[in-house]
Amino acid sequence: MRHGEKRVIELLIPLLGFIVISTITPGPNNLLLATSGMRFGVRATIPHMFGIHLGVYTMTVLCGLGMGQLLLAVPNALLGMKIFGSLYLVYLAWKIIGFRLTESSNEIDRPMTTVEAGLFQFANPKAWLMTTTGLSLAIPIFDSTSLAVVYFCLVFATLGLACNYVWVLTGSLLQVWLRHSAYRLWINSLLALLTLFTVGMFWSGH
């Protein structure tokens, strides 16, 4: 193996590991995907999942242009994203639990659309941190920001999509419990609490 190829492999391993860890561990996106999979099923959640990726791809391009570092360097920008994202998640939690906590409340709900999921990424500080950190790992491999952006998007589109799908599938496997009226209120309450838990992730700093 040539020295250059060995160097590329040594640099690729941390990047691949970072993307897998970032996309398989619990976080705002994965918890929302699991919640959507449980309440609406896999097929109805696919637009939500694709929206996440389109949002991240767009953010990656912007980070390649320097916007990510600029936003993360401005405390007020991060604070604004956290507040907006937190309010949106509280709104989603309120929709999940429903105004009347009855079966009819589920009828007005719908999964997150592609556009909504994509826009949500811009209010997610952790998404900005993931894209900026991922690019910082990818740029030394190619010595080119443009190639780093393309490579990061390709890897995220494969490994990241697979990891996100695991959460959607896990949620859908638990969907059967929602069919029992005796459990519906408890499950909706739990899903609402998990959604609110993602608010804490915005402010935890992890």
Q: Is residue 91 part of a domain?
A: yes
Mean pLDDT of 99-126: 72
The count of structural domains within the chain is 1
Domain-located, residue 36: no
The confidence score (pLDDT) of residue 103 equals: 47
CA distance 1 to 11: 15
User: Of 1-10, 54-63, 196-205, where does mean pLDDT reach its minimum?
Assistant: 1-10
- Across the range 24-48, mean pLDDT stands at 89
Q: How far is CA 12 from CA 17, 65, 205, in A?
A: 8, 22, 26
Helices marked H in the chain — which ranges? 3-24, 28-40, 42-64, 67-73, 75-97, 114-122, 125-142, 145-155, 161-173, 181-204
Measured CA to CA, the distance from residue 134 to residue 145 in angstroms comes to 12
136-159 average pLDDT score: 85
Whether residue 45 is contained in a domain is answered as no
Of 13, 27, 57, nearest in space to 163 by CA: 27
Q: Which residue has the tokens 């969907």?
A: 175
pLDDT digits (tens, 9 = 90+) for 148-165: 899 889 988 899 999 999
pTM: 0.75
Kindly state whether residue 149 falls inside one of the protein's structural domains.
Answer: yes
Distance CA 138, CA 165 (A): 24
pLDDT score, position 205:
53
> Residue 34: inside a domain, yes or no?
no
Of the listed ranges 11-20, 24-33, 72-81, 141-150, the one predicted with least confidence: 72-81
Q: Quick check: is 169 in a domain?
A: yes
Residue-level pLDDT at 105: 45
Planar angle of CA 85, 67, 58, nearest 5 degrees: 70
Query: Which residue carries 């900005």 as its tokens?
Result: 128
Domain that includes residue 167, residue range = 3-22+50-204
Average model confidence (pLDDT) across the chain:
79
Q: What is the pLDDT of residue 107?
A: 46
Q: Is the pLDDT of residue 175 over 70?
A: yes
Please indicate, yes or no, if residue 14 is contained in any of the structural domains.
Answer: yes
In a domain, 101, yes or no: yes
Is the per-residue pLDDT at 62 higher than 80? yes
